[in-house]
Amino acid sequence: MKILQGLTVSLVLINLAAILEKADESLLPAVYKEVGQAFNASPSELGTLTFIRALVQAISSPLAGILAMRYYRPSVIGIGTLFWGLSTAAVAASQTFVHCALSRAINGIGLAIVIPALQSYIADSYLEGTRGVAFGWLNLVGSVGGIGGNMLATIMAGNTYGGISGWRVAFLLMAVCSSLIGWLVHTLVLDPKKPPSKVFNSVRSISGRDRHHYGETSEDVPLVESLSRPSSSDSLFRMLEEETMVKNLHGAWRDAWVAVRSVLKVRSFQIIVLQGIVGSLPWTAMVFFTMWLELIGFGHKGAASLMGIFSGGCAIGALFGGWMGDIAEKKYPGSGRIMCAQFSSFSGIPFSCILLLVLPQDPQYYVLFAITFLLMGLCVSWCQACANNPIFADVVPEQNRTMIYAFDRALEGSFAAMAAPIVGLLAENVFGYRAHHVIADSGSPIEAQALSRGLCTVMAIPFGLCCFCYTFLYGTYQRDKDEARGHIQYPKFDSSVDDLTSIKMTENTGRQIHSVLRSCLVDWTSALPTLR
């Protein structure tokens, strides 16, 4: 019962971290207009801020896989959350566009560490047939964070507090909340798996609290901790620890490289990354929605409420899509999740055209915009929960899950990062957007129309390509899933001396450690006369 209670608290805190992650991502797009005025930045320059953060996040994502293999996952998530919190505070304190860009780059590193670790944590916490709903809930609570962050920043942006611009205060509040949740995750969260082996004694040792929750016995404790340590043998253990540190450092990179090669060879992973490269473009381009609505003339509150409706639709749609994916996969094994993903991605084409090209761009049509945003959110948000994340958990062995989520973010994010500046460039150079003609407190219809055409171009076409790419999964998903279940073609790691600090040791590893200890004891006892 205590184990279940500990894991329940852990899942609550993990979901809180997901809420803040989405809230942090939504802050800057919500205040594009104010940031542009503060730094005299054009849409393409504002898009560059998102591009820098997304690119650094993509490049840094493999770091999450390496850290999760060697360190306790809650510590990885907690420290990453604290990292992005501090960088968010740095954005609030920025005085120039360059300073803001550097702070966003650092923010990307923190997000890169946290997101894959969160996804693998959820995958390990639920059984195969329920992962769609689990990831749907993760997306739902994340969307709640996105709604809160977007609405908070949009509403605060038009005010000043103690002489400080509202958008800066919003960033400071987010930094404080992120730092607090990061500390709670690091301190209280339990991993559904046993803590992995540590390098340099890890970020966090296995405390009595963790052993109590996991019900560990003395034979579950690492060998180096379970052995009695008389004072005369201190030098032996110091020698063993120094040797273990050096070999662990080499072993960490070796194990990571083996995991990377295993992940990159999976055909289903390659196909999902291919669709994600184009499928992420529309979502990255959507960061301009708030600015576009304000240019139409909806104002801060109107734009915030419409984006809240869209985010709410996405949240409910992700949960519904995950549930539909679970049901479809049970009825049509190997293809049900794929069909749901194709429906969702294809629906993005008509909704993008209706929203951006068909609806009259006039604030009097608020109700039509609200209905369209709601229906669009309900339909286009299925893919991650119904297909991508559950499929990733199915097609690789358990120990490689963080790595596959990390490399998905790296490969998809590096290309998707280009969407925001592309929208800005199209709006300015093709469709006639004039940055210096934007009116601060009212709408700018010509600029709104130019931005909407740029958005539609970068959304409708990629949605169609994304739908087509999913087709190739029909021939690979079931095969890769069967191989992962049998651990075929995935070499197991031979950790040797690294396993001195592991929680569970195989019989073969135990014999190897016994041999090492025996040889070291012989050397130590033979050196005793000299030491005396």
SS3 189: coil
CB-based contacts of 148, cutoff 8 Å, min separation 6: 19, 23
161 φ/ψ angles, rounded to the nearest 5 degrees = -130, 110
More confident residue, 169 or 531: 169
Tell me if 217 is assigned to some domain. no
Q: With 80 as the cut, is the pLDDT of residue 306 above it?
A: yes
* 511 lies in the same domain as 419: no
pLDDT tens by residue, 401-457:
777 777 777 777 667 666 666 766 766 666 566 555 555 455 677 778 888 888 888
Distance, in Å, from the CA atom of 527 to the CA atom of 510, rounded to the nearest integer, reads: 26
Predicted pLDDT at 379 = 94
Predicted pLDDT at 468 = 94
* 31 lies in the same domain as 176: yes
199 φ/ψ angles, rounded to the nearest 5 degrees = -105, 135
Predicted pLDDT at 221 = 38
Predicted pLDDT at 248 = 55
* 509 lies in the same domain as 451: no
22-32 mean pLDDT: 80
* 73 lies in the same domain as 165: yes
- Find out whether 236 and 434 touch, Cβ atoms under 8 Å: no
Among left, alpha and beta (phi > 0; psi -120 to 50; other), residue 438 is beta
Q: Given pLDDT bands bounded at 50, 70 and 90, which one contains residue 317?
A: very high
Q: What is the CATH number of the domain that holds 51?
A: 1.20.1250.20
Tell me if 247 is assigned to some domain. no
Predicted pLDDT at 144 = 78
* 510 lies in the same domain as 373: no
Closest CA to 369 of 293, 453, 454: 293
Predicted pLDDT at 467 = 93
By mean pLDDT, which of 77-91, 184-198, 226-240 is the weakest? 226-240
Q: With 80 as the cut, is the pLDDT of residue 478 above it?
A: yes
Q: How high does pLDDT run on average in the chain?
A: 74
Percentage with pLDDT > 90 across the chain: 14
CB-based contacts of 432, cutoff 8 Å, min separation 6: 446, 450
Tell me if 287 is assigned to some domain. yes
Q: With 70 as the cut, is the pLDDT of residue 233 above it?
A: no
Cα 247 to the center of its chain, rounded Å: 30
Percentage with pLDDT > 70 across the chain: 71
Burial of 462 (0-12, 13-18, 19+ CB in 10 A): buried
Tell me if 463 is assigned to some domain. yes
pLDDT tens by residue, 29-76:
778 878 888 888 877 788 788 778 878 887 787 777 777 767 778 888
Amino acid at 28: L
By mean pLDDT, which of 10-19, 197-206, 283-292, 332-341 is the weakest? 197-206
Distance, in Å, from the CA atom of 128 to the CA atom of 105, rounded to the nearest integer, reads: 36
- Tally of CB atoms within 10 A around 256: 19
* 330 lies in the same domain as 449: yes
* 420 lies in the same domain as 510: no
Q: With 60 as the cut, is the pLDDT of residue 6 above it?
A: no
**Domain ranges, residue 518:** 498-523
* DSSP one-letter code for 356: I
Predicted pLDDT at 526 = 54
200-213 mean pLDDT: 40
By mean pLDDT, which of 263-267, 269-273, 449-453, 484-488 is the weakest? 484-488
* 23 lies in the same domain as 88: yes
Crossing angle (nearest 10°) for helices 267-285 and 477-485: 120
Ordered DSSP codes for 370-395 = HHHHHHHHHHHT-HIIIIIHHHHHHH
305-325 mean pLDDT: 89
Q: With 50 as the cut, is the pLDDT of residue 81 above it?
A: yes
Q: Given pLDDT bands bounded at 50, 70 and 90, which one contains residue 323?
A: very high
Q: What angle do CA 420, 424, 428 make, to 5 degrees?
A: 170
Predicted pLDDT at 518 = 53
Predicted pLDDT at 372 = 96
Crossing angle (nearest 10°) for helices 62-70 and 73-92: 140
Crossing angle (nearest 10°) for helices 97-125 and 2-30: 150
Amino acid at 324: M
Report how far apart, in Å, the C-alpha atoms of 518 and of each of 123, 138, 407, 428, 515 are: 41, 49, 41, 73, 5
- Find out whether 491 and 263 touch, Cβ atoms under 8 Å: no
pTM of the model: 0.63
Tell me if 263 is assigned to some domain. yes
Number of domains observed in the structure of the chain? 2
- Tally of CB atoms within 10 A around 73: 26
* 309 lies in the same domain as 387: yes
More confident residue, 371 or 217: 371
* 506 lies in the same domain as 416: no
Tell me if 210 is assigned to some domain. no
Predicted pLDDT at 349 = 95
pLDDT tens by residue, 329-388:
989 988 999 999 999 999 999 999 999 999 998 889 999 999 999 999 999 999 988 888
484-505 mean pLDDT: 44
Tell me if 37 is assigned to some domain. yes
* 365 lies in the same domain as 401: yes
Predicted pLDDT at 442 = 57
Predicted pLDDT at 196 = 43
pLDDT tens by residue, 172-206:
998 998 888 888 888 888 777 654 444 334 333 33
21-26 mean pLDDT: 80
* Beta-bridge mates of residue 165: 160
* 133 lies in the same domain as 78: yes
Q: Given pLDDT bands bounded at 50, 70 and 90, which one contains residue 492?
A: very low
- Find out whether 167 and 156 touch, Cβ atoms under 8 Å: yes
SS3 247: helix
Tell me if 348 is assigned to some domain. yes
CB-based contacts of 223, cutoff 8 Å, min separation 6: 500, 505, 510, 513
Distance, in Å, from the CA atom of 269 to the CA atom of 402, rounded to the nearest integer, reads: 13
